[in-house]
């Protein structure tokens, strides 16, 4: 397989930002998605680069594989239940890739020999292998999701807008809600499960505030190693999550006011696109923009 190259850069896009709406008539303090909150908790400087500077980041074949697999798993439930088979999912991979490529043509540069098809062909096979593992964990013929790619948002008492996009919401006959998120990565070690669950606790908090019902179960499906992580939250869990998110936002505001966006060096730095601009690696961040970009409409 030819080693893929990457485009010079694609602006980072939080799914919640792509569909987020402003709250009319309300003085909103700010907005956070689990992705952006996670960025700040990982590294305040990374949050700045992505949210304030909006620096472009080259896509990776792994990230785009995740996008394609997510699209297939979303579209799979448009089919009659009896057609939701591994073979049908495998056949949906190439059309899903073409749809993703049509939306973001710059991704074509990931595979320089696309006309010959060798690199992209091998990569599409890897997408099908990931999808095949899904069928060892769930039987989609027995599921009828209530929602897929559901945009959720709520305004806290402090006027902080929380928002995100949930992969799948299942509702049982008794009204119990299950929040499901697909990951094409491997499941985390036990010590890091709490960090992994933050995203779903965030979604559960927003759904609770929107619907008045605490989701019964949170479920992370890891397709790289065919593992499922589940957690059953309670009210105290979600109140603690709300306090944590509020604390993150207050820390963001302090950094905005002081202009002090500190790097947090760690193991994840090896995958960061911005090492050349990071003081921890001898770089210098660009000057801060004179105005902070507003969240997209």
pLDDT reading at 6 higher than 60: no
β-bridge mates for residue 160, sequence order: 30
How is domain 26-52+145-261 classified at the architecture level of CATH? Alpha-Beta Complex (3.90)
pLDDT reading at 295 higher than 50: no
Question: What would the pLDDT profile of 218-246 be if each residue is shown by its tens digit?
Answer: 999 999 999 999 999 999 999 999 999 99
- Separation of first and last alpha carbons in the chain: 41
As a whole-number percent, the residues of the chain with pLDDT over 90 amount to 79
Rounded Cα distance, 241 and 195, in Å: 12
What residues does CATH 3.90.320.10 cover in the chain?
26-52+145-261
Q: How many CB atoms lie within 10 A of CB 44?
A: 20
Q: Write out the two tokens for 248.
A: 């993150």
Q: What is the pLDDT of residue 291?
A: 64
Average pLDDT over residues 125-130: 98
The whole-model pTM stands at 0.88
Burial pattern 66-102, b for ≥16 Cβ within 10 A else e, equals bbbbbbbbbebeeeeeeebeeeebbebbeebbeeebe
């Amino acid at each position: 397989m030819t080693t893929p190259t990457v485009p010079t850069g694609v602006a980072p896009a939080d799914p919640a930002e792509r569909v987020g709406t402003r709250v009319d008539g309300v003085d909103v303090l700010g907005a956070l998605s689990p992705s952006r909150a996670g960025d700040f908790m990982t590294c305040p400087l990374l949050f700045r680069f992505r949210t304030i500077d909006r620096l472009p980041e080259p896509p990776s074949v792994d990230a785009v594989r995740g996008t394609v697999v997510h699209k297939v798993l979303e579209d799979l439930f448009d089919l009659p239940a009896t057609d939701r088979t591994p073979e049908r999912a495998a056949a949906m991979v190439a059309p899903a890739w073409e749809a993703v490529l049509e939306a973001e043509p710059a991704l074509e540069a990931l595979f320089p020999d696309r006309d010959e098809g060798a690199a992209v062909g091998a990569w599409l096979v890897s997408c099908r292998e990931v999808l095949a593992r899904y069928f060892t964990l769930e039987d989609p013929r027995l599921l009828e999701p209530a929602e897929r790619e559901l945009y959720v948002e709520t305004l806290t008492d402090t006027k902080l807008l929380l928002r995100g996009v949930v992969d799948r919401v299942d509702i049982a006959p008794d009204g119990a809600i299950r929040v499901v998120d697909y990951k094409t990565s491997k499941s985390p070690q036990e010590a890091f499960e709490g960090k992994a669950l933050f995203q779903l606790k965030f979604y559960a908090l927003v759904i609770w505030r929107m619907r008045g019902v605490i989701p019964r179960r949170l479920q992370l499906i890891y397709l790289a190693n065919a593992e499922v992580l589940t957690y059953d939250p309670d009210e105290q869990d979600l109140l603690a999550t709300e306090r944590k998110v509020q604390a993150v936002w207050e820390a963001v505001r302090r950094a905005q006011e002081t202009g002090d966006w500190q790097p947090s060096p760690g193991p994840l730095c090896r995958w960061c696109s911005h090492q050349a601009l990071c003081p921890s690696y001898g770089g210098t961040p660009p000057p801060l923009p004179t105005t902070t970009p507003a969240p997209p409409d």
